[in-house]
Chain A
């Protein structure tokens, strides 16, 4: 079963705008990760936030985590056409293993 559920399923914006994607999960987690996938290729790791962290930044990316609401958000600032991709959140359950449970993803389209 899916652990993470992203919202929205699809998002279309103009270059320069910000894009926000949300993710909800069901059980307690060790950490939550965000990945990007271009056109059915392999996934690229973007950022990892641990359960004891509330916010994390990496370049134009900002991730927040609210464990009380079991939710996370990914903000991409000043979007570029090259950011067009599918974005997935993945929950690493509190099991100590490397297993990730993915949501179904948000398709982001950034138009020039």
Chain B
């Protein structure tokens, strides 16, 4: 099976812009989670989707949102970008929970 894919791999944006990141899970996996990784805060959970429904949400402002489509592909959106949003955004899929299979990440730089 193909692994988790994330697009784009690298992104440069300026403050105030918005960005959409995409994640395609492993075939058959219905759970998709998103994480933000920064040198200061480490890996932090953003949200999890299961069968198009948000099951859990981390402690992030409303500027961060996501959705999942019927084919389990997921997108996350960050509006009104701030310098502190520069990070590696990781997507992970899981058949139903427990072990997470991570994609290579999207590195977002906000100037």
Residues of chain A touching chain B, judged by Cβ–Cβ distance below 8 Å, are: 2, 31, 33, 35, 40-45, 48, 88, 90, 92, 95-105
Chain A nearest CB from B23 CB (Å) reads 11
- Contacts between chains A and B (CB distance < 8 A), count: 69
Question: Contacts A2-B42, A42-B90, A105-B42 known; A98 to B102 CB distance under 8 Å?
Answer: no
Cβ-based interface call for B101 (8 A): yes
- Interface contact A98-B43, CB-CB below 8 Å: no
Range of interface residues on chain B?
20 to 34
Question: A2 to chain B: which residues have CB within 8 Å?
Answer: 42
CB-based contact A104/B42 at 8 Å: yes
A100 touches which one: B4, B37, B45, B88 (CB < 8 A)? B45
Q: Please give, as numbers and ranges, the residues of chain A lying within 8 Å of B97 by CB-CB distance.
A: 92, 96-98
Q: Cβ of A90: which chain B residues have Cβ within 8 Å of it?
A: 43, 100
B33 contacts partner chain A, Cβ-Cβ < 8 Å: yes
Question: Are B42 and A42 within 8 A (Cβ)?
Answer: no
Task: Quote the shortest CB–CB distance from A30 to chain B (angstroms).
Answer: 8
Choose from B4, B43, B94, B107 the contact partner of A102 (Cβ within 8 Å): B43
**Cβ-closest chain A residue relative to B37:** A40
Contact check: which of A48, A101, A105 meets B45 at CB < 8 Å? A101
Taking the closest CB of chain B, its distance from the CB of A1, in whole angstroms, is 8
Q: In the assembly, what is the distance between CA of A102 and CA of B33, in Å?
A: 13
Contact A42 B48 (CB under 8 A): no
